[in-house]
Amino acid sequence: MRRLLTPAEASELLAISPKHLRWLTDAGQLRWVNIGLEGRRPTRRYKEDDLLEFVERRSKNACRYIENTANQNIPMTSSFTVVDFQVPRERAISARHNAS
């Protein structure tokens, strides 16, 4: 068995903060070993194999939306309207002045 990693070493291996490592552990995403006394505050250590397996589980292929989209001819179906938010404000101010 390889040596157990401290939270600082494990977070460095994953390139995340120790706080994020703790969150992943608490959420059940990462396995850990309690080397502390039972019934007291746990002392967490991590197996390197578990961390590497976590990375493999989280590894993704390239996003399909980033792939070569330059040559695709996709018609635009949406239309846009420009809204001038100043006009209703000016009408409200004008109405207040006329009412006085």
Q: Is residue 75 part of a domain?
A: no
* 3-state SS, residue 33: strand
Q: What is the pLDDT of residues 20-53, one digit of tens each?
A: 999 999 999 999 999 988 777 889 999 999 999 9
Find the domain containing 16 and state its range: 7-58
Residue 35 CB contacts under 8 Å (≥ 6 apart), including other chains: 4, 43, 44, 45
Other residues' Cβ atoms within 10 Å of the Cβ of residue 51: 20
Q: What is the pLDDT of residues 60-98, one digit of tens each?
A: 766 666 555 555 666 667 777 777 888 888 888 888 888
Q: Is residue 72 part of a domain?
A: no
Q: Is residue 14 part of a domain?
A: yes
Q: Is residue 20 part of a domain?
A: yes
User: Tokens standing for 41?
Assistant: 């505050």
For residues 16 and 75, give the distance between their C-alpha atoms in angstroms, rounded to a whole number.
41
pTM confidence score: 0.57
